[in-house]
Amino acid sequence: MTALLAAAAVGATTAAVVTATLDSSGTKTVTRNVTVTNAQPTSSASALSVNGVWTRAKSSVVDIKVQTTSQLGQQGEAQGSGFVYSKTGYIITNDHVVSGASSVSVNFPSGATYKATVVGADPSTDIAVIKVNAPASVLKPLAVGNSSKLVVGDPVVAVGSPFGLDGTVTAGIVSALHRQIDAPNNFTINDAIQTDAAINHGNSGGPLFNLRGEVVGVNAQIQSDSGDNAGIGFAIPSNTMKSIADQLISKGNVKHAYLGVSITEIPSAVAGQLGEAAGVAVKETIPGQPAAKAGLKAATSTRALDGQQYPTGGDVITAIDGQSVSSAAELQSLIDAHRPGDQVRLTVTRGGSSRSVTVTLGTRPAQAS
């Protein structure tokens, strides 16, 4: 299975499992395990108890009710969570919570309910911003932490409204970092936080805290055979959330850079047997998109090794702007750091020879093919 970049692709050596988003829509997604080891330890200074985190957060985590209308005119309902982002009424939640909304209402812990408008949503990162016209006394923004400082084993606390039970608190640890999960538009979200803090349907859009009471993630998905909590949940990292939310507030939308390829990783362990360079092989180029326009060559055949199919005969991307690339996640992250219209210099290997290709990045389409 492959995805388009800048979606990453499912690498030939990664494992896939079925997961479920946390609202009531029943949407299914896929998560992939990507090993990256660049996190820095989070500070234990000023650590709070779980009750201390909840006490600080309880007035700022909200329950979101959504009315939807399908293209056929059918009415529906959805429910999720969110949290106050600013004293001007901006609230963070997931895109999949408010997608297709005809009306949105926000219930505060005080019992007050306010109508909300959708300011903007980004399906590529599953982040949305809504706005309420509420008194300043009701709007208590939460502090946002630096998710890049998390390490595996850090304690975390989730607060939200699973099954509509507002103000529910659960605690656990960071079980893993740098997971890849599928976005609502089938592109890939990098750097997702995996946690064993119990989260269920209705937790979507709610905050994941460190023990300093800072938001370090936005709860979004679970892995479960039953559809309920099984001890593996995923949150969008706060650094991604903040970047996307600020753009949605200022512009109403987010445009992501796009290369326009489907790719498969070529690990160094098998590169020699394949007669290819280690890196990210171009499996396909999308007609009319940046990679194709720049002349990147797609694979001409495949070869099976240890039960995995690897593309051969095309370009293998080994670096972007001089920075080495060994995985689909690294390639996506480097593309995501750019904007549409930016030029990047790809180092590619074809037929044993290395060359440089300059590509002008495009704009990611609304939906992955």
Across the chain, mean pLDDT equals: 88
Domains 13-57+145-251 and 257-363 share a fold: no
Superfamily of domain 13-57+145-251: Trypsin-like serine proteases (2.40.10.10)
Q: Is the pLDDT of residue 12 over 90?
A: no
- Over residues 205-225, the pLDDT tens digits come to 999 999 999 999 999 999 877
Q: Is the pLDDT of residue 2 over 60?
A: no
Alpha-carbon distance 159 to 268, whole Å? 42
Name the least confident of 11-15, 33-37, 197-201, 319-323: 11-15
- Over residues 120-147, the pLDDT tens digits come to 999 999 999 999 999 999 999 999 999 9
Q: Is the pLDDT of residue 1 over 80?
A: no
Q: Is the pLDDT of residue 16 over 80?
A: no
Catalytic residues: 96, 126, 204
Closest CA to 238 of 146, 159, 334, 154: 146
Per-residue confidence band for 73, with pLDDT thresholds at 50, 70 and 90? confident
Residue extents of the structural domains in the chain: 13-57+145-251, 61-132, 257-363
**In Å, how far from its chain's centre is CA 214?**
19
Alpha-carbon distance 230 to 165, whole Å? 18
Name the least confident of 40-54, 135-149, 222-236: 40-54
Mean pLDDT of 326-343: 94
Contact present, 204 and 220 (Cβ < 8 Å): yes
pLDDT at 77: 93
pLDDT at 69: 85
| Full-model pTM | 0.85
Q: What is the architecture of the domain spanning 257-363?
A: Roll (2.30)
Mean pLDDT of 95-123: 97
Mean pLDDT of 106-110: 96
Q: Which residue do the tokens 């690498």 mark?
A: 11
Q: Is the pLDDT of residue 174 over 90?
A: yes
According to CATH, the topology of domain 61-132 is Thrombin, subunit H (2.40.10)
pLDDT at 311: 95
Q: Is the pLDDT of residue 41 over 50?
A: no
pLDDT at 7: 22
φ, ψ of residue 357 in degrees (nearest 5): -130, 125
C-alpha distance from residue 248 to each of 123, 127, 131, 192, 251 (Å): 12, 9, 11, 20, 5
Per-residue confidence band for 45, with pLDDT thresholds at 50, 70 and 90? low
pLDDT at 250: 97
